[in-house]
Amino acid sequence: MQNNKIVNIPNILAFIRLLLAPVMFMLLVNQDAVIFQGIHPSWINYAAAFIFVVASATDFFDGYIARTFNQITTMGKILDPLADKMLTLAGFLGLMMLDVASPWAIFLIITRELFITGLRVSAVAEGIDIAASWMGKVKTVVQMIAIGFLLMGWMGGEILLWIAVTLTLYSGYEYVRDFFKNVKM
């Protein structure tokens, strides 16, 4: 059952995630300005990682609260994936600009995200509901873990990034398949 109340805890959490994405991005891309203030670059990455972890946690909690307390809304169905994309894209672009993440991996992820977002808009126009798939959720979690590892400079971050790319492309395939399965030709 869907609740159409716009202001609820899950939507507020998704909105917080949406607001934290540019804060994290600005920390990553403006390191020279912060370093000028005498702060070591690793602390900037730690701060960005902390913001990222807090923002990522809101993704878990907003979904849990929405399902548990029947607070699923149309606004939440739009805001949640938008906030996820903003957060992961801000993280990936920031890491790429710092030369920490492969530009090819980031290109593949961004291309898929933009394509699937366009496909979902087309699906709505056709009256087709393409709900988030299990693989899409796993993809988002692995992307978030990869970003966290890369931000912290932990071993395995690059491997996780390429696992995220693989899951990203596969879940994109699933969305395309489901779209064409449901479209009326």
Structure letter (DSSP) for residue 183: -
What tokens were used for 151?
């931000």
pTM of the model: 0.87
Is 55 inside any structural domain?
Answer: yes
pLDDT of 32: 74
Report yes or no: 73 and 2 within 8 Å, Cβ to Cβ: yes
Is 3 inside any structural domain?
Answer: no
Region at 115 (left for phi over 0; alpha for psi -120 to 50; beta for the rest): alpha
Q: Round the average pLDDT of the chain to a whole number and report it.
A: 89
Is 88 inside any structural domain?
Answer: yes
Q: What is the pLDDT of residues 36-57, one digit of tens each?
A: 677 777 788 889 999 999 999 9
pLDDT of 101: 93
Is 26 inside any structural domain?
Answer: yes
Model confidence at 4: pLDDT above 90: no
For residues 142-166, give the mean pLDDT.
95
Model confidence at 31: pLDDT above 70: yes
Q: What is the extent of the structural domain holding 33?
A: 9-182
pLDDT of 65: 95
Is 1 inside any structural domain?
Answer: no
Query: CATH number, domain at 89?
Result: 1.20.120.1760
Number of domains forming the structure of the chain: 1
Give the span between the Cα atoms of 13 and 60, in whole angstroms.
10
